Amino acid sequence: MDLFTADFWLALLNIVFIDLILAGDNAIVIGMAARNLPLHQQKKAVLWGTAGAIGIRIIATVVVVKLLDLPWLHLAGGILLLWIAYKLLVQEDDKHDVKAGNTLWQSIQTIIIADAAMGIDNVIAVAGASHGNTLLVILGLLISVPVIVWGSTLFIKLINKFTWIVYIGSGVLGYTAAKMITHEKAFKEFFEESPVIYWSFVVLIIVLIIAAGLYTNKRRNQAVQEKSREAH
């Protein structure tokens, strides 16, 4: 994939969007990890913690990209990404229990460890969207992680106000998952022979993921309303 082609820049935008839609909680974790520090040290903790998180994300994603050359891992990654896309739509409010560091180094460690634990879904999604291009992985993470750290509060507000953004994000993940599955060596030739079958499969996956999320959320809201009526 050439740096000066439309495909490259579309893939880069896709990676940045995936990171933003999946990593809304990271800024909360970063803030909680550094909350006990003096103000001048909080900025250092965020800066160095973010730098460490970017480094680990890049290494982890490049490793996953290389592993995708192994048989059946495209299929496994695609199926796992479908689950992530579904969970994005039906996620419950999580209570983040992040221990605040009392020293600068403790806070930096907490930020890096928490980001690594929370970033597994990002790693898989970015690996799938990068089409094996290491430059895409590095550029996408260098752009998106700082935006997450300094701008995710705004992004969280946007998602809360415009819930359809999450459904678009889930659709993008569904599209990426479908592409990973169709790139599995055992199926690749079958899907390449017929663009109609390929695009029908991609659209079907996206529709099924969004429909499953809508159905689950509807059932959950009905259950909450019934409990509320019984309580009164």
Place 15 in a pLDDT band, splitting at 50, 70 and 90.
confident
This prediction's pTM: 0.72
Is 1 a domain residue?
no
The C-alpha atoms of residue 197 and residue 100 are separated, in whole angstroms, by: 51
Describe the crossing of helices 164-182 and 195-231 by its angle, rounded to 10 degrees: 140
Is 160 a domain residue?
yes
Residues 52 and 141: beta-carbon distance below 8 Å: no
DSSP character at residue 200? H
Radius of gyration of the chain (CA): 19
Task: Classify burial at 109, counting beta carbons within 10 Å of its beta carbon; exposed 0-12, middle 13-18, buried 19 or more.
Answer: middle
Task: Classify burial at 38, counting beta carbons within 10 Å of its beta carbon; exposed 0-12, middle 13-18, buried 19 or more.
Answer: exposed
**What six digits make up the tokens of 117?**
């634990």
Is 145 a domain residue?
yes
Is 54 a domain residue?
yes
Q: Which domain holds residue 152?
A: 6-231
Count of domains in the chain?
1
Per-residue pLDDT reduced to its tens digit, 107-128:
888 777 777 766 777 788 888 8
- The larger pLDDT score, comparing residue 157 to residue 170, is at 170
Mean pLDDT is lowest, of 126-140, 146-160, 173-187, for 146-160
The top-scoring range by mean pLDDT among 20-24, 78-82, 152-156, 207-211 is 207-211
